[in-house]
Chains A and B, each alone.
Chain A
């Protein structure tokens, strides 16, 4: 297996250069640069703009800019953010971490809900429950996340009006924005953890619903296929209980394709939760990325692309290796 890993690693190098070169060229095709917006400020002299352009190296031809940048990447330096005047790694580290919290909780929620639902749908095929699960999961798939989050926020506000009328309880059940409460800094470590968890529930639920539909449907199909196979009939004939057959034999086989997909989760972890983060003001990757794009802070954009393409490549590698572990038919030489 080791030679395979080494070979795979060397294959990553051209992929990496290709991906970053493409990203760099596209970023150069966009008209203007980071300093164009500054030129419209009545108090900034053109000489200042020229000086800054020189300082940032934006006056150099793009192949030179790319060469310098990739050389820095090789040395582990993602470059400097124009906007914040500090290393890109400092700019992106925290958002990556914050997004990870959200994405991990949503994956946990996803598995915790989608696996039982998928199994239930397969075991009780065509029952009322199966139909309800299908309808609800298609709704989850169809509603855009950012919109669903808005609807939930509205729901939280409406609930407050209702609980106030009914019980005189004038507090929101869940926070509608931010990652922490305003008194966060005064809390004990345990309370801090719970505070973040409390703020995460709604956005994580929104993110989880989007993946739930697909996951449930695929697991249902997988389960149905496995449940119809001979060894399940054998197991039942042996007199094994329903639970044992379903969970110990059928489910274990049905989840193999999902294990292969775990590698794909790795870049997803730092890809962030998408526009939900903007709606609930979660200090994650998406807002950082959007802001860097709109300000043409290209090294932040490229830095995020680099980190996620590296994770994607590592993720694919892990997937391949995991497949070899779970599927006896695959061997690497």
Chain B
């Protein structure tokens, strides 16, 4: 927290001297100072249409809102080079000693794209609407910590005060990304027609000229299934400049082609119709490299930039009252360690991802390098160690079929379910099953419909209907990479143990939960990291979830598209470039 205060004071002093615009640093781009030129179009793509222009009812990723709403005047922001929050739409912010009260002072030079000044009222309105259960906003959940609301009120003419019910480092994120909604349009509507009117506003039939934004480019045309066109928002440059003082953004236009599939996007990229493409696999990269060699396109390819924030893992069911032998086994950490010894992560990386994946040992995705505990126990591929651990559990003989049995004749047979149609998961399950069978563990792979699989995984009670499931999750954050619903014993994604009446079953689970709660309350980032390292130590020993690999992300763009991050800042979290600093070489 101290660090915040120092940064904040410095920036606050700077801003008092002059109502200075926010400066996008030269260090965030490979372009030499003054090299960038104005004009041009970035032709990007997306595989799904925006379902609404309404920032309140949008339930998922949406190309239009990502750029126009999320890309707007959030209170704080971060550069690609650090996890520290920088004041953005806020001129400055101060955090109270206990971390429960944060006050921000707004810049006075931000305007909506129609020229109306952005005021405190716009931020208050968004808060009011998001916390109104009738509006059914997707942002609703984030405003509550342990069912207590975060309070937001106006202080002075140009300030906002956030009061948190408890100290919570993830809640700070909610503050940081809080952005305005146009009180003079949507607020008016809300006051007149209530929640229903607000929910119904700004559907995709609404003329875009009736919408206003604070983002670098504002949407000007939308043709369903074809394209979204954004044009420079002249008011953005009044409070955003590069280090040389040039108003941003550089690009005049940002176009998103709406394509039906990644294959179609790749074809368009090879045809020179797109400026950038995110290769999904090494096959894509191969195709692009050939096109580059042939001289079809002039492109840059960044292979294996970093692991992405998603994982594939195996989870064993601890709630199997109907089969006490299996239940006992699945609850034994030695058993799960043995299973981790049977996961050949190298083979998975090579065979399933063609070399483009990274092994994973705890719930923290490898891309969150700051948080990852490199020194945890690693139960890597080692069939002999697995055999030894299983023998320790009594499974030391093999029956006629070569399957391990214990003294009472119970054979070690497991059903591993995964979702049908996900070839990567099916392959991983098969690789695991093959090496397990060699060691005398009979693993039967079952491909289930995705929803059926999820129903099984999320089922609760003392007797749940599966042995083991292979599935993946994605997400996490740079502020606190542990899942609120994953680590605590009552979380609905605490997948291995969902006997809600029994609660935590082991002291380690309990300890991890306590550390999780403590970590979230720890605002000092270094101290929180220490706690995070400890949670991972427990996860690694306990192996409640056996992580396999995290696929790697790749990038490619036409060489004429400039202003990308320096290569050390190209990863799955911060991406390959700041759009605002991107320009087209002449």
B271 at the interface (CB under 8 A from A): yes
Chain B: number of interface residues, binned into ranges: 35 or more
Residues in B neighbouring A180, C-beta threshold 8 A = 223, 226-227
User: A176 contacts B260, CB within 8 Å?
Assistant: no
Q: A182-B227, A277-B260 are in contact. Are A86 and B204 (CB under 8 A)?
A: yes
Among candidates A42, A85, A157, A176, residue contacting B51 with C-beta atoms closer than 8 Å: A85
User: B454 contacts A279, CB within 8 Å?
Assistant: no
B267 at the interface (CB under 8 A from A): yes
Within 8 A of B (CB), among A219-252: none
B259 at the interface (CB under 8 A from A): yes
Among candidates B59, B257, B296, residue contacting A157 with C-beta atoms closer than 8 Å: B296
Count A-B pairs with CB separation below 8 Å.
144
Residues in B neighbouring A175, C-beta threshold 8 A = 271
User: A161 contacts B296, CB within 8 Å?
Assistant: yes
Residues in A neighbouring B59, C-beta threshold 8 A = 38, 85
Within 8 A of B (CB), among A269-296: 277-284, 287-288, 291, 296
User: B260 contacts A40, CB within 8 Å?
Assistant: no
Residues in B neighbouring A30, C-beta threshold 8 A = 449, 451
User: A182 contacts B255, CB within 8 Å?
Assistant: yes
User: B271 contacts A176, CB within 8 Å?
Assistant: yes
B65 at the interface (CB under 8 A from A): no
Among candidates A32, A52, A185, residue contacting B452 with C-beta atoms closer than 8 Å: A32
With both beta carbons as reference points, the residue of chain A lying nearest to B270 in the complex is identified as A157
B473 at the interface (CB under 8 A from A): yes
Residues in B neighbouring A142, C-beta threshold 8 A = none
Among candidates A45, A85, A98, A283, residue contacting B57 with C-beta atoms closer than 8 Å: A85
User: B225 contacts A283, CB within 8 Å?
Assistant: yes
User: B484 contacts A42, CB within 8 Å?
Assistant: yes
Complex Cα distance A36/B452, Å?
A: 9
Q: A42-B473, A86-B52, A283-B258 are in contact. Are A48 and B454 (CB under 8 A)?
A: no
User: B225 contacts A94, CB within 8 Å?
Assistant: yes
Among candidates A42, A45, A46, A182, residue contacting B483 with C-beta atoms closer than 8 Å: A42
Complex Cα distance A95/B458, Å?
A: 36
Residues in A neighbouring B473, C-beta threshold 8 A = 40, 42
B247 at the interface (CB under 8 A from A): no
With both beta carbons as reference points, the residue of chain A lying nearest to B54 in the complex is identified as A85
Complex Cα distance A44/B141, Å?
A: 7
A90 at the interface (CB under 8 A from B): yes
Within 8 A of A (CB), among B48-64: 48-49, 51-52, 57, 59
Q: How far is the CB of A183 from chain B (nearest CB, A)?
A: 9
Cβ proximity bits B241-264 to A, threshold 8 Å, 1 near / 0 not: 000000000000001011111011
Q: How far is the CB of A299 from chain B (nearest CB, A)?
A: 14
B493 at the interface (CB under 8 A from A): yes
User: B475 contacts A43, CB within 8 Å?
Assistant: yes
Among candidates A31, A42, A160, A278, residue contacting B475 with C-beta atoms closer than 8 Å: A42
Residues in A neighbouring B401, C-beta threshold 8 A = none
With both beta carbons as reference points, the residue of chain B lying nearest to A46 in the complex is identified as B492
Q: How far is the CB of A86 from chain B (nearest CB, A)?
A: 5
Residues in B neighbouring A31, C-beta threshold 8 A = 449, 451-452, 455
Q: How far is the CB of B55 from chain A (nearest CB, A)?
A: 13
Complex Cα distance A52/B223, Å?
A: 29
B352 at the interface (CB under 8 A from A): no
B residues in contact (CB < 8 Å) with A: 41, 43, 48-49, 51-52, 57, 59, 133, 136, 140-142, 199, 203-205, 221, 223-227, 229, 255, 257-261, 263-265, 267-268, 270-271, 273, 294-296, 449-452, 454-455, 458, 471, 473, 475-476, 483-486, 492-493
> 7 A-B contacts, Cβ less than 8 Å apart?
A40-B454, A43-B141, A86-B52, A90-B205, A164-B295, A178-B259, A180-B223
- Beyond A42-B493, A86-B51, A95-B224, 18 additional pairs, beta carbon < 8 A: A32-B450, A42-B476, A42-B485, A43-B142, A43-B485, A84-B49, A84-B204, A85-B203, A160-B296, A161-B294, A177-B273, A178-B259, A180-B227, A184-B227, A185-B221, A280-B264, A281-B260, A283-B258
Give the top 10 A-B pairs by smallest Cβ distance, nearest first. Answer: A283-B225, A32-B451, A281-B264, A84-B51, A42-B483, A177-B264, A281-B260, A31-B452, A281-B259, A176-B267
